[in-house]
Structure 1
């Protein structure tokens, strides 16, 4: 009886879990550019094992932040279903900006994967883009947003504010509320 197959799969799952746990800790300390070698060392595996599970830095970041981003995606749906379009988009942007400004490294995970190694619909960027698209469509239809505002504009705005105020949610939120005057329709901004 050959037990190498299932044992290897269980070992592989444990290695992946240890890598994600190590990556969370190292990225929290060093940011998105954290040493992949340090992550592998902390997980107790070699760099080849890390690269087998996560072929790129972007793939690793996507895995580390996926749960938080899925929560934000669900929250956008909830807000769209229960709030006015204006309140839904502004509340969601506030929550997104707070999360990204206080979660070190996540802003890099929210950028589109330049190598295309992650399916867009599964990436952190893709999940948030889809969430923002619903909010933007609803807000545009209600006349709440300026016509030229796109989902990518809102993600870029939240990312930029988070980078400018990393670790300081209050500053990020204050800057967001100042910037909303540029994305809300002229009557909404007044």
Structure 2
């Protein structure tokens, strides 16, 4: 218990209390982001008080994490990009390269929904900045997946990350019904197009 209790009072130390507060704040932040991600899909403008209510926290707590609606939505999008990029190496560890790419494309469809809804809810200057900063990491993830596929002989030699990004960018322009109906088929066609040509 040394270092955890103040001597000789036995009270919990300030460092432990501080760690608990930080952990609690991180949990609140995660709940806020998840609630905003869910609510941004609903019709109408996203309201911060609705996010706070969905999380069961006070509006003051929400504003401490995200002072404005755009701050919150920008972070929702950044988190989605981080998770999409992080999925690529995990999928390559668990699957053959082309299967990993197909599974990653399934994750892209979810990302496309978030991108569409967030970008529709924020100022053009903000979403352009977010898009510009996300292009590099997403391109690197695609390049990693394609390189693994080329090395395994399951992806055509001339496939480039930019080709894939241009093609998948159209997903964020589809509404939910069309994304559900066409998304899997479009991504399957893309996978087939990435295979090496037959001799």
Task: Provide TM-score, normalisation by structure 2.
Answer: 0.56
Unaligned runs of 5+ in 2: 1-10, 120-126
Structure 1 equivalent of residue 184 of structure 2:
173
Native 8 Å contact 2:39 2:46 kept in 1:
yes
Name the CA distance, whole Å, in 2 between partners of 1:26 and 1:55. Answer: 15
Cα shift readout 1:1-24 (whole Å, capped 9, x = no counterpart): 996x83764563354244224213
| 1:34 to 2:46 alignment | yes
Instruction: Tell me if structure 2 keeps the 8 A contact 1:161–1:172.
Output: yes
Q: CA RMSD in A?
A: 4.5
Greater Rg over alpha carbons, structure: 2
Aligned residues: 172
Aligned residue for 1:13? 26
Q: 1:127 to 1:13 in 2, by over 3 A?
A: same
* Correspondence list, 1:6-155, <5 A: 6=18, 9=22, 12-30=25-43, 34-36=46-48, 38-40=50-52, 42-43=54-55, 44-46=58-60, 48-52=63-67, 55=71, 57-63=73-79, 65=80, 68-69=83-84, 72-78=87-93, 82-83=95-96, 85-89=97-101, 91-100=102-111, 104-106=113-115, 114-115=128-129, 128-141=138-151, 142=153, 144-145=155-156, 147=158, 149-155=159-165
- When normalised by structure 1's length, the TM-score is 0.58
CA deviation map 1:48-72 (0-9, x unaligned): 3242598463223323x36853663
Aligned equivalents of 2:195, 2:92: Cα separation in 1: 20
